[in-house]
Amino acid sequence: MSNASQFSAVDRVVDHAISRTIVGANLLIKLNGELVYSRQAGFLDREASRPMAPNTIFRLASVSKPMVSAAALAMVEAGKMRLDDPVTRYLPDFRPRLADGRAPTITISQLMTHTSGLTYDTDNGNGKPACGGTGPSDFDLAENIRRIAALPLAFEPGTSWCYSVAIDVLGGVMEVVDGRTLPEIVKARVTDPLGMTDTGFWPTDPNRLAVPYADGTPPTRMVYIERVKNEDGFVEFWTGRAFDPKAFPSGGAGMIGTAEDFLTFLEVMRQGGTPILSPASRPLLTEAHTVDLDPAPSGQGYSHGWSIYRDPTMQKLPCQPGTWAWGGAYGHQWYVDPATGLTIVIFTNTALEGCIGAFPKDILHAVYRDLQA
């Protein structure tokens, strides 16, 4: 479904991107709970001439984080753990150090808000780098957490903000607390209650899994291990992770699922959280808890699950203050504007353009132009 009469600007952005920078995309928009736009464009597999289709399965990368965070908050609500608990209560050996040699206390809340002092620099200098969840690994979750513990902290926990591997550590905490694996926890607390049958840590139907592509002119089909350039260097992708049952479950980047499933999740969160969370927990997700720690400044903050646009005008965005947003490095971005009743899911198979390139923000601007027309 593409409501061309209402969303002509969105269609133009999609058409332009598919002709140049994006191989395939699935876009879904809900307004006040009603699906007002659904378009699948380009290719699921360009070389096989397979068009993008509804319910295409994608490697989610950091789109995993909101669902794992919601599962963690559900555990907090159930009294299994507290946000102010030190991580060492559950992982006694997790004691990363500052430059002065101190191993400060890190709390569960600091993991979830990315204020722990951890980063995404996974080279610990001992020849055994940690894994950020998208790259190659031949070790289990416990070993990855040991390697993360050997990484230096960039700052005293709670004094700054830096996007990081912290949600992978959170996944390890959750396993200790619950006694089940992270995939079992997320399934029981999030995906099963919401009927998200195509979302988990391995593809339910490999035939529907989108082929990933790397930025280029035109984009190139990813190889087994692919390095895609970004402004800070490279993002490393291990495309085989999706099919390797030995791959550790990465809470920060390891899930696989559909745009349709994720739209269901976001809409439940927008409407209050039930049955995943009670309304009492909603401010943990809807309010920025890093207000004084914005390093840019960018007008953004971070909740216990995603980014909050406190002042969208600082990035010249058309959404209302309080809009939630985040993305995934394989080529995804999403927005929830509670004040407008708007939920936008943009899933592509092109990294990194579909996540941090012009495409998702061009879509965002086009949506508001169309709604105001």
**For residue 101, which amino acid is it?**
G
Query: Closest by alpha carbon to 105, among 85, 86, 81?
Result: 86
SS3 letters for 228-255?
EEECCEEEEEEHHHHHCCCCCCCCCCEE
Alpha-carbon dihedral sign for residues 300, 301, 303, 306: positive
Beta-carbon contacts of residue 176 (< 8 Å; ≥ 6 apart):
90, 91
For residue 361 the two structure tokens come to: 């923000």
Catalytic residue (one of 5, 8, 38, 62): 62
Q: Are strands 213-214 and 220-221 parallel, antiparallel or unpaired?
A: antiparallel
Annotated catalytic residue 250 = no
Give the span between the Cα atoms of 113 and 189, in whole angstroms: 20
Cα→Cα distances 219→18, 83, 216, 222, Å:
10, 42, 4, 9
Query: Closest by alpha carbon to 268, among 196, 198, 321?
Result: 196
DSSP bridge pairs for 37: 29
Q: How does DSSP classify residue 103? A: -
Instruction: Map residue 339 onto helix, strand or coil.
Output: coil
Q: Give me the helix-helix angle, 358-372 and 8-18, nearest 10°.
A: 160
Give the span between the Cα atoms of 55 and 196, in whole angstroms: 11
**Which amino acids are annotated catalytic?**
62
